[in-house]
Amino acid sequence: MAFGVLAIQGDVREHLEALRRTGVEAGTVRTPEEVAAVRGLVIPGGESTTIGKLAARYGLMEPIRRLVREGRPLMGTCAGMIVMANTIGAAANDQPALGVMDIAVERNAFGRQLDSFEVDLEVKGIEGGPVRAVFIRAPVMSAVEDGVEVLATHEGRIVAARQGSMLALAFHPELTDDSRLHDYFVKMG
Ligand code: GLN
C-alpha cells in the first residue's frame, strides 16, 4: 500500500518526492476511496481555509478521521497542521477542520515582518543534527493537551508535535532535500 498526499492545494509534488526518497511508494489523494486505501496521509501547506473547505466538499473529512482512528499515520505541515487541530485561534468564518489532534493553533503567528524565515531546529526523535526548518506565514501550537508530545520549539513556541500516529509541523520539511522528518513519519504507523 502506498502513502498519499492530499492533493487539493499546496506543495504536493515536493511531499511526494520527499516520501519517495524514504523508499516508500506515494501518490496523490483526492477522493474518499483514495483516503481509505492509503497507508498514511500528508496534508501539505497552502491555505488552511481552502484546504478545509475543499476537503469537506469532496467528502474527505470523515475518511481522514477514520484513517486516524485506525492508527494510520497522518502528517500536517503548516496549513495541514491547522486543519488537524481541534482548536483554531482566529479561525476564518466557517473554516472546516478535522479536529483530530488535541492542539490549539494560532495562524500566522510570527507576524507580518517575519513572513518567512529559516532556522536550524533540533527535533526530538531526529538524529544526526538539526533540521533546516522553512517557515512560511507559519502557525504555532499555542497549547497542547495531555497525550501530545512536543518535538520542537522555536523561540519558546511549539512548532512540532506528535500525538500517537499524528505528526504536526508548523514548517515545511518538504522544501529542503533533507527527508529525515518524512522518514520519521513513514515509520510511525
Ligand atoms: N497561513 C496559512 C494558513 O493559515 C498557512 C501557510 C502555509 O501553509 N505555508 O492557512
List the catalytic residues: 78, 172, 174
Q: What percent of the chain has pLDDT over 70?
A: 97
User: Helices 48-57 and 61-69: crossing angle, nearest 10°?
Assistant: 100
Residue 37 Cα to ligand 1 middle (Å): 27
Q: Is the CB of 72 within 6 Å of ligand 1?
A: no
Cβ neighbours of residue 111 under 8 Å, at least 6 residues apart? none
CATH code, domain carrying 27 = 3.40.50.880
Determine the atom of ligand 1 nearest the C-alpha atom of 77: 8
- The per-residue pLDDT for range 34-79, each reduced to its tens digit, is 999 999 999 999 999 999 999 999 999 999 999 999 999 999 999 9
**pTM for the whole thing?**
0.96
Query: What is the tally of structural domains in the chain?
Result: 1
What is the extent of the structural domain holding 102? 3-186
Question: With 90 as the cut, is the pLDDT of residue 93 above it?
Answer: no
Distance (Å, whole) CA 19 – CA 26: 6
- The per-residue pLDDT for range 126-145, each reduced to its tens digit, is 999 999 999 999 999 999 99
